[in-house]
């Protein structure tokens, strides 16, 4: 399951116990809220690949830190920010701990950002063709070889499951390095049930199952096993 | 407080992230891509308006109104919109009913997908590696770390939100709540019970806690 990056965490051992925090605040520190506000306000500020290609150390440094690093990287890729100006500005704030960010107020923009938080987006797409699978079908997931972003977790690749629900068609967010995504048609999405033992073998807990959302292109029928595709 | 070890807190200030965040905000404001009050508004909205109280109202309504519950399980997004909730990260919300036979728990192993309109922003543990890596392999062990012992007779279903859909758990209605008004029922519904790492509070425990 070494196909994924550090973000592909399902089933990886060694991260220790879960540590829930009592009465955890929404943001632990002011900067976390500011970073989150930037990400929400600036549409398309970064892409998922910006997040997933961060150094593991940065990725693992905490949610808002990786969000900030991905935003910075995304805006630099788009030419909105240069490394030099970010370094210069950071030096300014490091040397002037009392200094505050430049303040500009625009109620109209704020209204648009506010509306965006409540806007109900329509993500369903025309599938182009009827679903290839139905509830109850035995299926097998493929192995994703392209090395870019995929929404099929490593632990669920090459595994057998059963279609539990036929959802709608949605854009497939896979990003193979260097591949154009514009022409990709939307794909049918399914909920697929995997028995724990299929995924984890003897170490699986009894009476447990995984339900994973799987795009049609990740699936083949079990009959197709061994056939060249 | 487990949050104190990550270095962002006084008395051991780690200046890097706050300095970096100020630099980014300042540059992006100067370039006209964002404004100070827009960021203020986002922070305020998720600190005050959009949080798990929304989801608790949805659950309480489902507990008292069988027709609503049926609609909620059929089309979560639409039924949740009936109560006025929807928006970012809520285009497709699927509600999973936990029953005497099935316990549902939600994770996003690839990132941190979470149904913001009903639960607000995710707690740190949901976004951190320990939960994301382990709950798919050893859900009962992880749930025990949250203080939840799932009966052997129940099947545990772990839902990995890998795609467009966002999942919310409809926890079982606790015993001893017959006749309680909807508002009081909502008070028994915790964020964790809607992720599936807890069950709803029982009235006695809730009384003590408050």
pLDDT tens-place string over residues B87-120? 999 999 999 999 999 999 999 999 999 999 999 9
Q: By mean pLDDT, which of A64-73, A147-156, B179-188 is the weakest?
A: A147-156
The pairing of beta strand B155-160 with beta strand B102-107: parallel
**Cβ atoms of residues A68 and B17 within 8 Å:** yes
**Residue pLDDT, tens place only, B31-90:** 999 999 999 999 999 999 999 999 999 999 999 999 999 999 999 999 999 999 999 999
**For helices A30-41 and A107-118, angle between their N-to-C axes, nearest 10 degrees:** 80
Query: Hey, what are B30's tokens?
Result: 């100067």
B144 backbone φψ class: left, alpha, beta (φ>0; ψ -120 to 50): alpha
Q: What mean pLDDT is predicted for residues A223-229?
A: 46
pLDDT at residue B6 greater than cutoff 50: no
The verdict on a CB contact (< 8 Å) between A99 and B163 is no
Active site residue B26: no
Angle at A125 between CA A121 and CA A127, to 5 degrees: 165
Q: What mean pLDDT is predicted for residues A146-161?
A: 90
pTM for the model: 0.92
**Cβ atoms of residues A151 and A173 within 8 Å:** yes
The more confident residue out of A48 and A73 is: A73
Which residue from A18, A106, A151 is facing B162, i.e. has the nearest CB?
Answer: A151
pLDDT at A4: 66
Nearest residue on chain B to A88, alpha-carbon basis = B23
**Residue B93, H or E segment:** strand B93-97
Enumerate the residues of chain B whose CB falls inside 8 A of the CB of residue A28: 3, 6, 8-9, 124
The more confident residue out of A173 and B179 is: B179
pLDDT at residue A229 greater than cutoff 80: no
**Cβ atoms of residues A173 and B171 within 8 Å:** no
Kindly state whether B41 is in contact with chain A, defined as any CB-CB distance less than 8 angstroms. Answer: yes
pLDDT at A222: 82
pLDDT at residue A185 greater than cutoff 90: no
Nearest residue on chain B to A24, alpha-carbon basis = B123
pLDDT at B2: 40
pLDDT band at B15 (very low <50, low <70, confident <90, very high): confident
Active site residue B113: yes
What is the residue-averaged pLDDT of chain A? Answer: 90
**Cβ atoms of residues B156 and A28 within 8 Å:** no
Active site residue B111: yes
pLDDT band at A180 (very low <50, low <70, confident <90, very high): low
pLDDT band at B1 (very low <50, low <70, confident <90, very high): very low
pLDDT at residue A43 greater than cutoff 70: yes
Share of chain A above pLDDT 70, in %: 91
Share of chain A above pLDDT 90, in %: 76
Going by C-alpha positions, the residue among A46, A36, A211, A64 that lies closest to residue B128 is: A64
**For helices A30-41 and A63-77, angle between their N-to-C axes, nearest 10 degrees:** 40
**Cβ atoms of residues B190 and B52 within 8 Å:** yes
Enumerate the residues of chain A whose CB falls inside 8 A of the CB of residue B42: 33, 36-37, 40-41, 113, 117
Share of chain B above pLDDT 70, in %: 90
What is the residue-averaged pLDDT of chain B? Answer: 92
pLDDT at residue A216 greater than cutoff 80: yes
Which residue from B17, B26, B123 is facing A101, i.e. has the nearest CB?
Answer: B26
pLDDT at residue A179 greater than cutoff 60: no
Q: What mean pLDDT is predicted for residues A27-40?
A: 97
pLDDT at residue B4 greater than cutoff 50: no
pLDDT band at A77 (very low <50, low <70, confident <90, very high): very high
């Amino acid at each position: 399951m070494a196909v994924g990056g550090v973000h592909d965490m399902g089933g990886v051992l060694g991260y220790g116990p879960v540590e829930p925090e009592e009465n955890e605040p929404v943001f632990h520190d002011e900067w976390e809220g500011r970073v989150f506000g930037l990400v929400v306000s600036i549409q398309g500020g970064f892409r998922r690949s910006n997040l997933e290609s961060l150094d593991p150390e940065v990725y693992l440094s905490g949610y808002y830190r990786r969000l900030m690093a991905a935003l910075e990287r995304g805006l630099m890729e788009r030419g909105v920010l240069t490394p030099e100006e970010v370094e210069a500005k950071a030096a300014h704030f490091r040397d002037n701990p009392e200094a505050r960010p430049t303040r500009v107020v625009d109620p109209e923009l704020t209204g648009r950002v506010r509306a965006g938080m409540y806007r109900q987006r329509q993500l369903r797409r025309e599938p182009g063709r009827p679903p290839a699978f139905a509830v109850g079908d035995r299926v097998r997931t493929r192995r994703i070889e392209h090395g870019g972003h995929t929404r099929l977790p490593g632990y669920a690749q090459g595994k057998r499951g059963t279609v539990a629900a036929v959802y709608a068609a949605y854009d497939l967010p896979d990003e193979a390095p260097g591949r154009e995504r514009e022409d990709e048609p939307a794909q049918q999405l399914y909920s697929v049930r995997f028995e724990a033992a299929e995924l984890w073998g003897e170490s699986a807990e009894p009476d447990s199952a995984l339900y994973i959302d799987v795009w049609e292109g990740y699936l083949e029928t079990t009959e197709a096993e061994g056939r060249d595709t | 407080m487990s949050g104190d070890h990550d270095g962002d807190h006084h008395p051991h200030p780690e200046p890097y992230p706050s300095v970096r965040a100020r630099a980014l905000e300042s540059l992006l404001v100067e370039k006209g891509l964002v404004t100070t009050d827009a960021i203020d508004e986002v922070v305020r909205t998720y600190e005050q308006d959009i949080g798990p109280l929304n989801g608790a109202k949805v659950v309480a309504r489902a507990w008292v109104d069988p027709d609503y519950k049926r609609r909620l399980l059929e089309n979560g997004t639409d039924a949740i919109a009936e109560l006025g909730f929807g928006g970012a990260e809520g285009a497709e919300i699927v509600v999973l009913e936990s029953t005497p036979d099935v316990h549902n728990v939600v994770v996003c192993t690839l990132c941190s997908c979470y149904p913001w309109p009903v639960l607000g922003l995710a707690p740190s543990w949901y976004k951190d590696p320990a939960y994301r890596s382990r709950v798919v392999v050893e859900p009962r062990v992880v749930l025990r770390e949250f203080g939840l012992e799932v009966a052997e007779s129940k099947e545990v279903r772990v839902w990995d939100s890998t795609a467009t859909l966002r999942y919310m758990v409809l926890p079982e209605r606790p015993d001893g709540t017959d006749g309680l008004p909807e508002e009081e029922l909502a008070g028994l519904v915790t964020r964790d019970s809607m992720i599936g790492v807890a069950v709803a509070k029982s009235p006695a425990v809730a009384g003590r806690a408050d």
